[in-house]
């Protein structure tokens, strides 16, 4: 049995000297390398051409190659054999004890370099063959791992301890736009930084991985072309036998499409599908937050409840398609009447709208907006061939006079709106005016 793995092996010897061939056979036998059945493990070729043919025919486990052959000499011999047998370990056998030639042969693709008159020393040939076979298996596994890493959809990056990129798979290039040659030696945090994460984000990340722990999170990075993308990132520290961190492995997943879908779903859940205005859910949330801020800052806000006057006849006479187009135009005009970022224009359904003025100094500020709304809605609408004239009734409730919670403010603004309709439509009423009238 072989002192390598016990499996039978085939050795191709490319050597034109029969005497040297006999020496090699003796060494192989003494090394205990196992035969294939009753066959000699050594296959002989006396020229490079015959050796290449034998590689194709017998698929040897290892090639012992002389550098001086009838049809080839020197490093070209190694290069030609390497091209013919890219996955087979090559051991150079030569009579030239030349360190420079040995180094050049290894660079050309040989795994080892032996001088013939030293073959009997300390089982030199046997050790070289066994070591070559072990290295070949390890290299085969490494090639398999690299092929697997190269085929995955996620980007994989390996950096040294200073975060300089040493290797990245094709998915990294596909995601970021950076070719491997461009990325080698560079810090991914520098070439991909979008500026969307602050210093504290990166400080927390580094604190985790330098402590030897895995860090996972989401961030926004920048591609080579300048475009931004959402990324799910996992960074794992790799330690040596002494426990010190030697490398970092980062797995990068482009989640831009997923984030876009999530954002779209969230948008649809919180916005009216017809007008794209915030719906009741989002309005309630914003009103709740605005009330919290107003309480902290002892501020004032106003809720304006709007209902279009004579909208039903539009649907009944012109059809719902025209009615929908009219509602879209109404939404655009209302947005223009409350342009501040802190304001919210929402559609509750049908022809009911709400305007939240989150930050006002006094109740009179709501009157200014109400006047703009009445004027805007009062202008004729051109919907296709139709000229449509409508108006709106507005009810106003002011925090804290007319309510201190979401439900009370919306209810009181709604009540004030009905009194605006009773007052003749196309006007506004404050909830407090209703209270004063009732008291009188």
CATH assignment at residue 64: 3.40.50.2300
Establish if 4 belongs to a structural domain. Answer: no
Against a cut of 0.75, is the pTM above it? no
Domain check: are 142 and 164 in the same one?
A: no
- Check if the beta carbon of residue 353 is closer than 8 Å to that of residue 393: no
At residue 437, the pLDDT reads 46
The two three-digit tokens of residue 101, written as one number: 């030639």
CB atoms within 10 A of CB 341: 6
Closest CA relative to residue 275, chosen from 381, 355, 348? 348
Q: Would strands 386-388 and 381-383 be described as parallel, antiparallel, or unpaired?
A: antiparallel
Per cent of the chain over pLDDT 70 is: 93
| pLDDT over 90 at 122, yes or no | no
- Check if the beta carbon of residue 298 is closer than 8 Å to that of residue 291: no
Domain check: are 142 and 163 in the same one?
A: no
Q: Would strands 386-388 and 245-254 be described as parallel, antiparallel, or unpaired?
A: unpaired
CB atoms within 10 A of CB 145: 10
DSSP β-bridge partners for residue 168: 157
Q: Which residues are CB-neighbours of 170 under 8 A, at least 6 positions away?
A: 150
Establish if 386 belongs to a structural domain. Answer: yes
Domain check: are 103 and 214 in the same one?
A: no
| pLDDT over 80 at 230, yes or no | yes
Query: pLDDT band at 434, cuts 50/70/90?
Result: very low
Q: How many structural domains does the chain have?
A: 3
Domain check: are 295 and 407 in the same one?
A: yes
d(CA 24, CA 120): 9
Query: pLDDT band at 200, cuts 50/70/90?
Result: very high
Domain check: are 316 and 340 in the same one?
A: yes
Tell me which of 148, 170, 191 is where a domain ends.
Answer: 148
- Check if the beta carbon of residue 355 is closer than 8 Å to that of residue 306: yes
Establish if 122 belongs to a structural domain. Answer: yes
- Check if the beta carbon of residue 352 is closer than 8 Å to that of residue 305: yes
User: Which strands make up the sheet holding 155-160, listed edge to edge?
Assistant: 165-168, 155-160, 245-254, 228-239, 215-222
Establish if 265 belongs to a structural domain. Answer: no
- Check if the beta carbon of residue 30 is closer than 8 Å to that of residue 23: no
d(CA 420, CA 332): 23
Domain check: are 247 and 277 in the same one?
A: no
Domain check: are 24 and 113 in the same one?
A: yes
Domain check: are 228 and 301 in the same one?
A: no
How remote is the C-alpha of 432 from its chain's centroid? Answer: 55
Query: pLDDT band at 166, cuts 50/70/90?
Result: very high
| pLDDT over 50 at 115, yes or no | yes
Establish if 136 belongs to a structural domain. Answer: yes
pLDDT digits (tens, 9 = 90+) for 356-399: 999 999 999 999 999 999 999 999 999 999 999 999 999 999 99
Tell me which of 119, 148, 177 is where a domain ends.
Answer: 148
The two three-digit tokens of residue 195, written as one number: 């500026």
d(CA 71, CA 77): 9
Domain check: are 232 and 280 in the same one?
A: no
The region of weakest confidence among 118-122, 233-237, 320-324 is 118-122
Domain check: are 157 and 142 in the same one?
A: no
Establish if 1 belongs to a structural domain. Answer: no
Distances, alpha carbon 69 to alpha carbons 43, 83, 97, 427, in Å: 16, 17, 17, 107
Residue 223 backbone dihedrals phi, psi, to 5 degrees: -75, 175
Domain check: are 283 and 431 in the same one?
A: yes
Query: Exposed, middle or buried: residue 47 (CB in 10 Å: 0-12, 13-18, 19+)?
Result: middle
Establish if 333 belongs to a structural domain. Answer: yes
The two three-digit tokens of residue 139, written as one number: 């290299």
**Domain harbouring 161, CATH code:** 3.30.450.20
Domain that includes residue 54, residue range: 11-148
Q: Which residues are CB-neighbours of 17 under 8 A, at least 6 positions away?
A: 66
Establish if 5 belongs to a structural domain. Answer: no
Tell me which of 128, 148, 168 is where a domain ends.
Answer: 148
What 3-state class would DSSP assign to 240? coil
d(CA 421, CA 432): 16
- Check if the beta carbon of residue 124 is closer than 8 Å to that of residue 95: no
- Check if the beta carbon of residue 314 is closer than 8 Å to that of residue 323: yes
**Domain harbouring 299, CATH code:** 3.30.70.270
Domain check: are 282 and 177 in the same one?
A: no
């Amino acid at each position: 049995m072989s002192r390598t793995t016990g499996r039978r092996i085939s050795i191709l010897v490319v050597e034109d000297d029969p005497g040297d061939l006999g020496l090699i056979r003796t060494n192989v036998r003494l090394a205990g390398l196992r035969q294939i059945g009753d066959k000699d493990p050594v296959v002989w070729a006396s020229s490079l051409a015959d050796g290449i043919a034998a590689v194709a025919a017998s698929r040897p486990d290892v090639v012992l190659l002389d550098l001086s052959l009838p049809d080839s000499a020197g490093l070209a011999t190694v290069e030609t054999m390497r091209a013919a047998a890219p996955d087979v370990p090559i051991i150079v056998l030569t009579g030239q004890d030349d360190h420079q030639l040995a180094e050049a042969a290894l660079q050309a693709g040989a795994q080892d370099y032996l001088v013939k008159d030293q073959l009997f020393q300390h089982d030199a040939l046997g050790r070289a063959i066994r070591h070559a076979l072990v290295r070949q298996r390890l290299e085969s596994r490494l090639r398999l791992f690299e092929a697997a890493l190269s085929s995955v959809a996620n980007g994989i990056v390996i950096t040294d301890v200073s975060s300089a990129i040493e290797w990245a798979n094709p998915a990294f290039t596909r995601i970021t736009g950076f070719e491997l040659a461009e990325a080698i030696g560079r810090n991914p945090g520098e070439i991909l930084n979008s500026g969307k994460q602050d210093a504290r984000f990166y400080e927390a990340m580094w604190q985790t991985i330098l402590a030897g722990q895995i860090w996972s999170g989401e961030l926004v990075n920048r591609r080579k072309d300048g475009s931004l993308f959402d990324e799910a990132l996992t960074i794992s520290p790799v330690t040596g036998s002494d426990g010190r961190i030697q490398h970092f492995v980062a797995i990068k997943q482009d989640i831009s499409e997923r984030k876009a879908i999530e954002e779209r779903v969230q948008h649809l859940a919180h916005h009216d599908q017809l007008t794209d205005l915030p719906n009741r859910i989002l309005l309630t949330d914003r009103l709740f937050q605005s009330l919290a801020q107003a309480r902290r800052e002892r501020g004032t806000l106003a809720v304006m409840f709007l209902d279009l006057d004579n909208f039903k006849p539009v649907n009944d006479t012109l059809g719902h398609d025209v009615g929908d187009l009219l509602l879209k135009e109404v939404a655009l005009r209302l947005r223009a009447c409350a342009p501040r970022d802190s304001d919210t224009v929402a559609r509750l359904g049908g022809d009911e709208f709400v305007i939240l003025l989150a930050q006002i100094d006094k109740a009179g500020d709501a009157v200014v907006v109400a006047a703009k709304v009445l004027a805007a809605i009062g202008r004729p609408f051109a919907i296709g061939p139709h000229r449509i004239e409508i108006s709106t009734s507005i009810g106003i409730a002011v925090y804290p006079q007319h309510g201190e919670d979401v439900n009370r403010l919306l209810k009181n603004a709604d009540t004030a709106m009905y009194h605006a309709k009773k007052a003749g439509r196309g006007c506004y009423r404050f909830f407090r005016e209703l209270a004063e009238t009732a008291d009188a």
